């Protein structure tokens, strides 16, 4: 079964081997963990791995300005600007700074899901046809400005748009912010879940579940290094 499923590399050395080659295409994945564990780095690494393979990319950011994401990516040697028309940011953060947001793909806060949905459709059209990767950072902010039920409905729409474009949607979710009922509800719309945590001074991750994939649920230690990003060790 695993060999017959088309997959998208995560970009993380050691993780693709656990996943029989990567995340299944046409899937939605939740990356869950506490603040500071490397979720955003994982999302950036996943996106750049696809862009390097000439896939298209749409990055919906609600937690950081695009310029800050680019600066953080530069630390690891990833240059989002180098991918030209194959990649766009949807800026759902800069409105917080109280300035006029003039970027073409910008939204005036995450509470207006209709505007976000239309902007997403425009962004997908902008990058054109072909296999796509989508990133949402983070679902937690989406829930904060709306509610779990509205967020789930929106994520179902986003997931459907992703799958229609032979895409893979990866979303960050903050652990410790939501109750278990909310996490279970959000998990309902996902095809897989990757958990990340700190255990003492060690960073650990585990594939909690993944459709169409036989995998271990063991916790794996990983590092985050300059010009390298995330890598499984041991």
Q: Where are the domains of the chain?
A: 7-232
> Taking a C-beta distance cutoff of 8 angstroms, is the pair 38, 203 a contact?
yes
Residue 99: what pLDDT? 63
At 1 the pLDDT is 47
Residue-wise pLDDT tens digits, 152-194: 999 999 999 998 888 899 999 999 999 888 888 898 899 999 9
- 3-49 pLDDT, tens digit each: 589 999 999 999 999 999 999 999 999 999 999 999 999 999 999 99
Peptide bond into 66 cis (omega under 30): no
Q: Work out the angle at residue 159's Cα, subtended by the Cα atoms of residues 166 and 91, and round it to the nearest 5 degrees.
A: 100
What is the average pLDDT across 217-231?
Answer: 97
Per-residue pLDDT at 65 exceeds 90: yes
Predicted confidence at residue 104, as pLDDT, reads 86
Q: What CATH architecture does domain 7-232 belong to? A: 3-Layer(aba) Sandwich (3.40)
- 158 backbone dihedrals φ, ψ, rounded to 5°: -60, -45
Q: Please give the pLDDT value at position 102.
A: 65
Look up residue 164 and give its two tokens.
Answer: 């229609």
Q: Which of 89-93, 95-99, 119-123, 213-217 has the lowest mean pLDDT?
A: 95-99
Residue-wise burial string across 110-143, b where 16 or more C-beta atoms lie within 10 A, e elsewhere: beebeebeebbeebbeebeeebbbbbbbbbbbbb
Rounded CA gap, 36 and 71, in Å? 17
What pLDDT score does 103 carry?
A: 78
196-200 average pLDDT score: 97
pLDDT greater than 60 at residue 95: yes
Instruction: Work out the mean pLDDT of the chain and round it to a whole number.
Output: 93
Q: What is the mean pLDDT of residues 91-117?
A: 86
């Amino acid at each position: 079964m695993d060999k017959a499923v088309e997959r998208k590399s995560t970009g993380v050395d050691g993780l693709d081997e656990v996943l029989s080659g990567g995340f299944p295409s046409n899937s939605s994945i939740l990356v869950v963990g506490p603040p500071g564990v490397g979720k955003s780095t994982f999302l950036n690494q996943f996106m750049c791995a696809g862009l390097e393979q000439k896939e298209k990319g749409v990055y919906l950011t609600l937690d950081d300005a695009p310029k800050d994401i680019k600066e953080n990516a530069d630390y690891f040697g990833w240059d989002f600007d180098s991918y030209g028309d194959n990649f766009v940011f949807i800026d759902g953060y800069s409105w917080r700074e109280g300035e006029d947001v003039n970027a073409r793909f910008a939204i005036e806060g995450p509470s207006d899901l209709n505007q976000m949905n239309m902007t997403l459709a425009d962004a997908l059209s902008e990058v054109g046809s072909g296999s796509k990767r989508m990133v949402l950072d983070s679902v937690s902010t989406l829930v904060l400005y709306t509610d779990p039920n509205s967020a789930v409905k929106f994520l179902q729409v986003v997931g459907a748009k992703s799958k229609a474009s032979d895409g893979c949607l990866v979303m960050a979710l903050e652990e410790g912010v939501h109750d278990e009922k909310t996490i279970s509800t959000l998990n309902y719309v996902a095809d897989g879940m990757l958990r990340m945590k700190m255990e003492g001074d060690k960073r650990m991750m585990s594939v909690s579940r993944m459709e169409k994939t036989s995998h271990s649920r063991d916790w794996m230690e990983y590092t985050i290094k300059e010009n390298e990003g995330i890598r499984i060790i041991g």
